């Protein structure tokens, strides 16, 4: 039975990128695609604004509350930890999770404010490590031209430039860069290929690891 469970585990797929790079659009398209292929999949997002911690984060992001930079960093991390056991059980029982932002957003955004990079990484240690991180690559200038920019706390060009620099530091060989300036359908096709490969690897028994691996 254990062998079967391992063989059928779901993949942990994370999409990262600057604000307005197209993550949410692509995440929902991916989940529909996977379901159409008969692959059990769910859309997750961080911050998860539905929890108590998530509501504190949401108030901060919309500028209705002020918090110390370290405090909000730890809340973002706590918001991932409170979903950890559910995340693991979903993966172990064969559901692929398409996750809109994860620990990399946590570290990149807080480092962009000037917090120590290594300090920022510590609270993420031990969370499930993604099987693949897809980075939706767009310049801060191009992203700013897209709809709805300017509403929330971090949606300012100068700040997004710093975030882009920290994403570069976090980038490793396991990341897949996709040019996010292509038409939505072209980005979608590339993501489908990356994610199908990843799901196959996980079904073959690739073990789930933890951050920072
Ligand atoms: N944050 C987050 C932290 O500081 N620490 C953390 O630990 C975490 C998890 C909220 C903020 O919190 C920060 C990061 C964020 O600043 P959020 O709720 O994910 O994070 O942010 P949202 O505002 O919901 O989403 P984004 O601004 O990141 O946008 P998306 O999801 O990247 O982009 P999307 O899909 O909504 O598309 C944006 C626009 O572009 C168009 C879309 O139609 C839409 O109008 N578009 C395209 N246009 C042309 N070509 C394409 N290929 C396009 N793809 C999309
Ligand atoms: Na989004």
Cβ of residue 24 lying under 6 Å from some atom of ligand 1: yes
What is the distance in A from the centroid of ligand 1 to the CA of 143? 9
Other beta carbons within 10 Å of 156: 14
Q: What is the ipTM of this complex?
A: 0.97
Report pLDDT for 213: 85
Cβ of residue 167 lying under 6 Å from some atom of ligand 1: no
Report pLDDT for 147: 73
Cβ of residue 23 lying under 6 Å from some atom of ligand 1: yes
pLDDT in tens, the chain (213 residues): 444 444 589 999 999 999 999 999 999 999 999 999 999 999 999 999 999 999 999 999 999 999 999 999 999 999 999 999 999 999 999 999 999 999 999 999 999 999 999 999 999 999 999 999 999 999 999 999 997 766 788 989 999 999 999 999 999 988 999 999 999 999 999 999 999 999 999 999 999 999 998
User: Of the ligands numbered here, which is closest to the C-alpha atom of 54?
Assistant: 1
Closest ligand 1 atom number to CA of residue 186: 52
Neighbours of ion ligand 2 (CB under 5 A): 24
The predicted-structure confidence for 36-66, as pLDDT tens digits, reads as follows 999 999 999 999 999 999 999 999 999 999 9
Task: Please name the residues in contact with 149: beta carbons below 8 A apart, sequence gap of 6 or more.
Answer: 19, 20, 143, 155
Cβ of residue 46 lying under 6 Å from some atom of ligand 1: yes
Residue bearing the CA closest to ligand 1, atom 14: 105
User: In angstroms, rounded to a whole number, what is the distance separating the alpha carbons of residues 142 and 151?
Assistant: 17
Buried-state track 188-197, b at ≥16 Cβ within 10 A, e below 16? bebbbebbee
What is the distance in A from the centroid of ligand 1 to the CA of 149? 9
Residue bearing the CA closest to ligand 1, atom 51: 184
Task: Please name the residues in contact with 175: beta carbons below 8 A apart, sequence gap of 6 or more.
Answer: 132, 133, 134, 135
User: Of the ligands numbered here, which is closest to the C-alpha atom of 188?
Assistant: 1
Residue 109 gets which letter from DSSP? H
pTM: 0.96
């Amino acid at each position: 039975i254990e062998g079967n469970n391992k063989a059928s585990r779901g993949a942990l797929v994370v999409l990262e990128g600057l604000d307005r790079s197209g993550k949410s659009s692509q995440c929902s398209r991916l989940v529909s695609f996977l379901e159409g292929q008969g692959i059990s999949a769910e859309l997750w997002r961080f911050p998860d604004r539905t929890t108590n911690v998530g509501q504190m984060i949401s108030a901060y992001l919309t500028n209705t509350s002020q918090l110390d930079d370290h405090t909000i960093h730890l809340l973002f991390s706590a918001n991932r930890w409170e979903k950890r056991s559910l995340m693991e059980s979903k993966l172990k029982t064969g559901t692929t999770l398409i996750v809109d932002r994860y620990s990399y957003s946590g570290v990149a955004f807080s480092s962009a404010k000037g917090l120590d990079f290594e300090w920022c990484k510590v609270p993420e240690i031990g969370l499930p490590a993604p099987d693949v991180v897809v980075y939706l690559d767009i310049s801060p200038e191009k992203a700013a031209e897209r709809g709805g920019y300017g509403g929330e706390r971090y949606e300012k060009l100068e700040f997004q430039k710093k975030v882009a620099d920290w994403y570069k530091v976090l980038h490793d060989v396991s990341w897949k860069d996709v040019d996010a300036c292509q038409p939505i359908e072209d980005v979608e096709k590339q993501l489908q290929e990356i994610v199908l490969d990843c799901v196959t690897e996980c079904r073959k028994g690739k073990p789930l690891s933890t951050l920072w691996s």
